[in-house]
Amino acid sequence: MSPGEVSAIMVGAFVVLVVLRVPVSFALGLACLPILLIEERLTPVVLVNEMWKSYNAFILLAVPFFLLAANLMNAAGITQRLVDLARAAVGHLPGGLGHVNVTVSMLFAGISGSSTADAAGIGSLLIPAMKKEGYDSSFTVAITACSSVMGVIIPPSIIMIVWGGLMSVSIGGLFLAGIVPGVLITFTLMGATLIFAKVRKYPVGKRSSFREFCRAFGHAALALVTPAIIVGGIVFGFFTATEASVIAVLYSLVLGGLIYRSIGLRELPKVLYESARFAGISLFCIGTASAFGWLLAYFRVPHALADLLAGLHAGPVATGILIALAFLAIGMFIDAIPAIIVLGTILLPLAEGVGMHPLHFAMIGVVSLAFGLVTPPYGLCLLIAASLGQVKMVDALKDIGLILLPMLAILVLVILFPELILFLPRLVAPQFL
């Protein structure tokens, strides 16, 4: 069979099944069946075997552990301490709680690697508080969802770990590369909040005294050490990404169980179950997506596509934009992790063809996919925030669009100026480049 025939059957079947509302993971597996049954050179066991191979990777263990760490932080009330600190630092600005929402997302992102845990944890605390103070529900939901995408851009990041593991890119390098875009997005979101606050006359919180700030900082200090332990540990070679994720779990357990005494043995099974369940669903999707990706690669579909695109003679910038658009488009429909497997491997030869640095390619992908977390129809962070804010997803879309526009400008900056993301890894750990 030719690459064209194979991709038409597989992609066609996948799209039809997804539109019919078959779960993405099952649709990916089902789309492989016709080819596996028709092609004589392949045995149907390939599907199971490829799934097994994708799971049998130590690096992916970091996914459930980082989810668990984030859920433990939420259960242990650490998120509340971060909120108190952010309120003391930026609560007095116009649209105070909006800024608190953004700042706390940035702090939380440095501790957790999951945007969904960020949206769920921070949203459950701040969405009711913001609505009570008179913020529009749509803005409240939009700012919570948009700021939570930093969870996967600021290290540690589950998406980066999957990317690094799949495409053999240094995870330490990816983590360092994510810091600058993450901080830039924070400032962008705070700027957007300021404009919203002026136009819609949102309330201004009371300014905290220096003493109050110091007290809030003291309460959150132990949690704030986490990013240094995790990122520092990986970057300087003390432990692997998977080990770092377990350290994050143990540290949250010590903080919540022994120091703050806010999490008991009774709450633990629920947190363990919820983390494992969510990780199981996400990773099951990785398995079928891997088999799907493997089958496409077997019939040299990625190469055919890369050849086709190479025929356009696009330069590095045009290629970067093309890659971003592809990830933004796929991110609207499927989860980031299967998107990396399906699309990342296809676009890799294209990026290599124009001499794009692997970290640059990765950051364009990660930032684009992070935006996919708030774009309908399948934006998990938007879905979580909308359900917490008890508003329909469509009602928040206008504000989401207004906030996303300046965030897209950051993506364009990342495409245009690779040095923006490469200088930090080059400075701190040149061996990653």
Partner 1 sequence: MNILIERFHQFLKVVLTVLMGLMIVPVTLQIVSRHTGIIPRYIWTEEVARFCFIWIIMIGSMIAVRDGTHFDVNLLRPPASPRRKGIRDLIVHLAMALLALFFLRYGVVFAKTGFIQTSEMSGINMLWIYISFPLAGLTWVIFLAEKIMQDWELICGASRPEGPETSP
How many CB atoms are located within 10 Å of the residue 83 CB?
Answer: 26
Spatial separation of the C-alpha atoms in residues 135 and 105, rounded to whole Å: 18
* Min separation Cβ 86 and partner 1, Å: 30
Nearer to partner 1, 289 or 326 (CB): 289
The reply on whether position 47 binds partner 1 by CB under 8 A is yes
The reply on whether position 187 binds partner 1 by CB under 8 A is no
The reply on whether position 235 binds partner 1 by CB under 8 A is no
The reply on whether position 260 binds partner 1 by CB under 8 A is no
- Quick one: 225 exposed, middle or buried, by C-beta within 10 A (0-12, 13-18, 19+)? middle
The reply on whether position 297 binds partner 1 by CB under 8 A is no
Spatial separation of the C-alpha atoms in residues 207 and 238, rounded to whole Å: 41
The reply on whether position 56 binds partner 1 by CB under 8 A is yes
Spatial separation of the C-alpha atoms in residues 72 and 240, rounded to whole Å: 21
The reply on whether position 34 binds partner 1 by CB under 8 A is no
Sequence-distant (≥ 6) Cβ neighbours of residue 69 within 8 angstroms: 111, 112, 113, 245, 248, 249, 251, 252
Spatial separation of the C-alpha atoms in residues 272 and 253, rounded to whole Å: 12
Spatial separation of the C-alpha atoms in residues 106 and 245, rounded to whole Å: 18
* Min separation Cβ 48 and partner 1, Å: 4
The reply on whether position 52 binds partner 1 by CB under 8 A is yes
The reply on whether position 230 binds partner 1 by CB under 8 A is no
What residues form DSSP beta bridges with 204? 94
Spatial separation of the C-alpha atoms in residues 338 and 25, rounded to whole Å: 9
- Quick one: 332 exposed, middle or buried, by C-beta within 10 A (0-12, 13-18, 19+)? middle
Residue from the set 107, 249, 348, 386 that interacts with partner 1 by CB under 8 A: 249
Residues near partner 1 (CB under 8 A), total = 60
- Quick one: 92 exposed, middle or buried, by C-beta within 10 A (0-12, 13-18, 19+)? middle
Residue from the set 35, 89, 111, 283 that interacts with partner 1 by CB under 8 A: 283
- Mask of contacts with partner 1, 371-410, x by CB under 8 A? ------xx-x------------------------------
Do 259 and 222 form a contact (C-beta atoms < 8 A)? Answer: yes
The reply on whether position 68 binds partner 1 by CB under 8 A is yes
The reply on whether position 41 binds partner 1 by CB under 8 A is no
The reply on whether position 265 binds partner 1 by CB under 8 A is no
Spatial separation of the C-alpha atoms in residues 125 and 102, rounded to whole Å: 13
Nearer to partner 1, 27 or 176 (CB): 27
The reply on whether position 281 binds partner 1 by CB under 8 A is yes
Residue from the set 187, 236, 273, 417 that interacts with partner 1 by CB under 8 A: 273
Nearer to partner 1, 57 or 328 (CB): 57
| Per-residue tokens: 222 | 């132990």
Do 348 and 361 form a contact (C-beta atoms < 8 A)? Answer: yes
The span of 11-19, 143-151, 353-361, 417-425 binding partner 1 (CB under 8 A) equals 11-19
| Per-residue tokens: 32 | 């492989």
The reply on whether position 201 binds partner 1 by CB under 8 A is no
Do 307 and 352 form a contact (C-beta atoms < 8 A)? Answer: no
Residue from the set 10, 35, 61, 141 that interacts with partner 1 by CB under 8 A: 61
The reply on whether position 19 binds partner 1 by CB under 8 A is yes
The reply on whether position 199 binds partner 1 by CB under 8 A is no
- Mask of contacts with partner 1, 304-343, x by CB under 8 A? -----------------------------xxx--------
The span of 152-160, 197-205, 241-249, 399-407 binding partner 1 (CB under 8 A) equals 241-249
The reply on whether position 204 binds partner 1 by CB under 8 A is no
The reply on whether position 75 binds partner 1 by CB under 8 A is no
The reply on whether position 11 binds partner 1 by CB under 8 A is no
Do 367 and 340 form a contact (C-beta atoms < 8 A)? Answer: no
Residue from the set 22, 129, 402, 413 that interacts with partner 1 by CB under 8 A: 22
The reply on whether position 279 binds partner 1 by CB under 8 A is yes
- Quick one: 423 exposed, middle or buried, by C-beta within 10 A (0-12, 13-18, 19+)? middle
Sequence-distant (≥ 6) Cβ neighbours of residue 39 within 8 angstroms: 1
Per-position b or e across 259-285, b if 16+ CB within 10 A of its CB: ebeebeeeeeeebeebbeebbeebbbb
Q: Residues interacting with partner 1, by CB under 8 A?
A: 17-27, 29-30, 33, 44-45, 47-49, 51-52, 55-58, 60-61, 64-65, 68, 238-239, 242-243, 246-247, 249-250, 268-269, 272-273, 275-285, 287, 333-335, 377-378, 380
